[in-house]
Amino acid sequence: MKTTAVIFDVFGTVISIEDRRNPHLQLLRLGREHGRRPRPGDMQMIMTYELGWEELARCLDIRVSHEQLQHLAEELEAEVSSMQVCSDAAQAIALLQSAGVKVGLCSNLASGYGPAVRELLPGLDAYGFSYEIGAMKPNPIIYHSVCRDLGVQPGQQLLGNRVVMIGDSIKCDRDGARAAGIAGLHLSRTGKADFTDLVKFAESVVQA
């Protein structure tokens, strides 16, 4: 069955963060230090809105000083500066593109990371980031948005074509994608999974 498009997760799949600082979790910890308890919608707010640090803190009802806001911005910049394309990702993407397969990204992403991801992986056919779409994986909306940008339709397996997604999250990249009509696959470079290497995955797609 011909694969017309491949969707990759971002962090842990095609890009790694070498110097993790978790600035958004730091912001939530600052809230706890002032007696604010975690709320169910905290991560939804962080991942589905394009907000600066001051506006995000205000929306989350977290009191922070100017110095703390500056520190969070510096921590984010440190993370972004340490982002690298995974060793097998560039080769896999090039292999797919040379075979005429469309390539897109689909990621739960806070807004500060998006421009750097695009810069590290330019020239793809679609970039589906939660903060731009307003929905997080495994919500079908985000997968369908990426497919729309790719010009493909989930469920086309029935028509002899298919859209494949691969990532390091079983819940989001395998099961969530499958629930949205996409052939979802799990990647683990260190353990048992559908694939342990993106180049082997790309070769399987091209040779199918």
DSSP string, 20-35: ---HHHHHHHHHHHTT
Determine the pLDDT at residue 194: 96
Q: Crossing angle, helix 198-207 and helix 89-98, to 10 degrees?
A: 10
Q: How many CB atoms lie within 10 A of CB 79?
A: 19
Average pLDDT over residues 153-181: 86
| Domains (range + CATH), the chain | 2-16+84-207 (3.40.50.1000), 23-81 (no CATH)
Q: What is the mean pLDDT of the chain?
A: 95
Average pLDDT over residues 76-89: 97
Q: Which of 36-45, 69-78, 130-139, 154-163 is least confident?
A: 154-163
Tell me the pLDDT tens digit for each residue of 23-55.
999 999 999 999 999 999 999 999 999 999 999
Determine the pLDDT at residue 160: 55
Determine the pLDDT at residue 157: 57
